[in-house]
Amino acid sequence: MSFGPALRTWRTRRGLSQERLALAAGTVARHVSRLETGRAQPSPGMVRALAGALTVPPRGVEELLVAAGHAPHPAPSSPPAAGPALLAAVRRVLDAHEPYPAFALDPVWDVVARNTAAGRLLAGLAPDALAGGNALRLALHPGGLVRYAADDAPWAAALLARAADQAAHVPDGRLAGVLADVLTARGTAAADVPADVAVPVRLRLPVGDVTLLAVSTRLAVPGEPAAAGLTIDTFLPADARTQRVLERTAAPTSARQARPFSAAAAGPR
C-alpha cells in the first residue's frame, strides 16, 4: 500500500478529520490532503509527526516510512537526562541573567530549571497554564503569558513553528500532544516563519509595559551528552523602559523581597 492510502486508513481508524490530524502533527489540512492523494511526499520527520499524532505503533511507523520511500530507521533517541552536576551548572547560568527571566528546557520543553525572575514572570498565570510546567503551555495557553500580549502576539508564530519542528524530531510524543492542545485552543496551525536570533515579545504586565527579546540557546558541552537535550531560553530587555521595569520589580522592598510581575509596582511606569 502506498503512503497516501495508508495514512488515510490510519486517520479513519482513529476517527480524525484532516484538520484535526494536521493540528496534532503541526501542519495544515491542505498538506494532509495532498499527502493522502499522493500529490506530495512526506519527509521522514513528517511521517513520524503524523504517526505520533495517530498513535501508530512502532511496526506501523516502519511501514509508513517504507511506503513513503524512506528507510525504516529507528526513531532518534532522546539524550540522557541531565544529572545534578549539569543542572547545578545550568542554574548558575540562569542566575547570571538576573533580573531578567531565564529558563532551561528539556527536549519536550518541560522546564527543568528557572531563575527567580522567571518565577516572578510566571506568578500571575492561571493554574491550567502552569500545570505540567511545559514552556509551550506556559506561553500560549489562554491563561499563560499570551494573556498579557500587547498585540496579536506575533512571537507566537515563531514559537509554534519551533515547537512543531522539535516535536517532529523527538521520539517522546508529549510535546506533540501539548502542541496539538495549544493549536486546538488557538484554532490555528503551526506555520513556517523566517528564523530569527531574537523574537520580540511585547507584554502589558501589571508592573508595566515591557518589550522583551526572546533568545533560545542550545547547549553543547564536550563530554556531557545530556547537555545536547537542553536549551536555555532568556528574555532580555529590548529598551531602557523595560530594563527599568524589570530592575525595579527585582529590587527588595521594606515589606517583602522582589515582587512578582503580576503585582502592581510602586511609582511611575
In the predicted structure, residue 97 carries a pLDDT above the cut 90: yes
> How much is the average pLDDT of 79-103?
87
User: Per the confidence metrics, is the pTM higher than 0.75?
Assistant: no
pLDDT of 257 strictly over 50 = no
Domain boundaries, the chain: 3-67, 84-250
Residue 72 pLDDT > 80: no
Average pLDDT over residues 259-266: 46
pLDDT, average across residues 101-121: 92
Spell out the CATH class of 84-250: alpha beta
Higher-pLDDT residue of 14, 261 = 14
β-strands 102-105, 111-114 pairing: antiparallel
What type of residue sits at position 94? L
pLDDT of residue 157: 83
For residues 103 and 63, give the distance between their C-alpha atoms in angstroms, rounded to a whole number.
39
pLDDT value at residue 165? 76
Check residues 189 and 141 and name the one with the higher pLDDT.
Answer: 141
pLDDT in tens, 57-70: 777 888 899 999 98
pLDDT at residue number 166:
78
**Does pLDDT of 53 surpass 90?**
no
Mean pLDDT of 159-178: 77
Domain 3-67 is found in CATH 1.10.260.40: yes
pLDDT > 90: percent of the chain: 36
Question: CA angle 131-137-142, nearest 5°?
Answer: 100
- Would you state the pLDDT for residue 23? 80
* Domains 3-67 and 84-250 in one fold: no
pLDDT band at 46 (very low <50, low <70, confident <90, very high): confident
Q: pLDDT for 190-236, tens place per residue?
A: 666 666 668 889 999 888 899 999 999 888 766 666 667 788 999 99
Q: Which of 10, 15, 60, 14 is nearest to 35 (CA)?
A: 10
If DSSP states are collapsed to H, E and C, what string results for the chain? CCHHHHHHHHHHHHCCCHHHHHHHHCCCHHHHHHHHCCCCCCCHHHHHHHHHHCCCCHHHHHHHHHHCCCCCCCCCCCCCCCCHHHHHHHHHHHHCCCCCCEEEECCCCEEEEECHHHHHHHCCCCHHHHHHHEHHHHHHCCCCHHHHECCCCCHHHHHHHHHHHHHCCCCCCHHHHHHHHHHHHHCCCCCCCCCCCCEEEEEEECCEEEEEEEEEEECCCCCCHHHHHCEEEEEEECCHHHHHHHHHHHCCCCCCCCCCCCCCCCCCC
| Angstrom distance (rounded) from CA 31 to CA 51 | 15
For position 266, what pLDDT does the model report? Answer: 35
What pLDDT is attached to residue 184? Answer: 79
- pLDDT at residue 74 is higher than 60: no
Distances in whole angstroms, Cα of residue 77 to Cα of each of 36, 170, 171, 228: 28, 7, 6, 12
> 234 — phi, psi (to 5°)?
-120, 150
